[in-house]
């Protein structure tokens, strides 16, 4: 539901195509799923990404992200310690996840 509320694409294969139909049926009951045959899901994802790019919502550059603060927050809130990761790797991963979630920060809007 949260993905759909943020304008995201929610896909599930048809229950009769699934080896186990419990998950698709549960997702469908939410009313937020775009039903697709499993073979069409990759095409739907590409089409969705293209629409997002055309609508002015392309992935934003992550340069200038406050990496030390993000790393510390992740370390204190989870079991993951990213202090030894290369900054470029972290920026790319954060940029990708932000783009997938449709998130932009104030400092990105100013760039």
- Global pTM? 0.44
d(CA 4, CA 108): 24
Mean pLDDT by 10 residues, the chain (111 residues): 80 89 91 82 82 58 67 86 84 80 58 44
Separation between Cα atoms, residue 3 and residue 108, nearest integer Å = 22
Q: What is the pLDDT of residue 93?
A: 83
Task: Return the number of other C-beta atoms located less than 10 Å from residue 95's C-beta.
Answer: 17
Q: Within 13 Å of residue 61, how many CA atoms lie on the same side as its CB?
A: 6
The Cα 18–Cα 87 span in angstroms is: 40
Question: How far is residue 97 from each of residues 20, 36, 60, measured CA to CA in Å?
Answer: 29, 24, 11
Give the per-residue pLDDT at 105.
Answer: 55
What pLDDT is stored for residue 34 in this prediction? 82
Rg for the chain, CA atoms, rounded: 17
């Amino acid at each position: 539901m949260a993905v759909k509320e943020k304008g995201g694409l929610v896909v599930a294969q048809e229950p009769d195509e699934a080896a186990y139909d419990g998950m698709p049926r549960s997702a469908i009951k939410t009313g937020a799923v775009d039903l697709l045959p499993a073979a069409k899901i990759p095409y739907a994802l590409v089409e969705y990404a293209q629409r997002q790019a055309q609508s002015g919502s392309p992935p934003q550059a992550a340069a200038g992200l406050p990496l030390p603060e993000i790393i510390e927050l992740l370390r204190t809130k989870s079991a993951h310690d990213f202090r030894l990761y290369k900054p470029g790797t972290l920026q790319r991963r954060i940029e990708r996840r932000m783009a997938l979630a449709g998130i932009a920060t104030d400092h990105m809007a100013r760039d």
